[in-house]
Structure 1
Amino acid sequence: MTTRDAETLAQLVSEQAGKGKRYTFEQLANRSVDPESSYKPSPNLVWTISKGQSVKMNPPLVRALAAGLNLPPKRVADAAHRQFLGWYSGDPGVSNPSDKDDDAVYRVAVEAGVTPEQMPAVEEFFEQLRREREDEA
């Protein structure tokens, strides 16, 4: 797993905004405009995100932050997903070579900030489930 695979939205925002950083929270908020809806978050919301506090995430906010941070929207969305929803293996519609023709999709909800390495029991559960299904076939 790379560092990018574990980054959160709070990290992406706090790396670029705050005291002594590239942008103030107001500057980043002003740069953050969703190209589809023209939605723009407030400086207070940007600060709240940078501190890792819970906020209501939605596609316009993710797209706005991606524009403001000058990062790919998928990277920002993945970081938001990890922070607010927890670990996941990928999107159901995206092919993953390690799936071995398995069409099952698993979603696991965990506390924010938990990494896959901190969930060996969940990983083992799914491996056991796969082995059982293979034995039945």
Structure 2
Amino acid sequence: MSHFSTIKTTLSNRQALQEGLKALLEKIGITPEIESHENPVPLINGYDTADRQEANIIIRRTQLQGLIDIGFRWNPAQNCYEAAIDPWDFNRNLLGNHFENVEDFLEQVQVAHNAAFINIHYPAHLWSQETITASDGTMTTTLTKKVDLYA
């Protein structure tokens, strides 16, 4: 039986999550509308209508050619968004064609979220950035404020 799974993340910024999701999905040729709601709204599960979840940021199932929406709900106690994703449907929708599994997808969302956060809060005209990827896959980004010689 298919059902939503709630997965803890460290996604903490709404704008960065939305922009990161959009950039990540566009990179693989998916251009869905990403819904953003101040208060959580119901996710749709076309497989099991009794399985109810709510989310603030949503990608609707029809845009992913799946049966179940994908959502991210704000958890104020953890100060981050939790992902509501059904692994069974994920493997069968458009995302499953591009990501090995839900965990792989969420890792890529985290990287996209972090890149968007840096671009939002440290604009390229004021900051330079250098990102180094270690052999274990760990990424380190160094930000340096640009000096204004005319200030």
- Common topology (TM > 0.5): no
Pick the structure with more helix per residue. 1
TM-score by length of 2: 0.26
Pick the structure with more strand per residue. 2
User: RCO higher in 1 or 2 (8 Å CA, sep ≥ 6)?
Assistant: 2
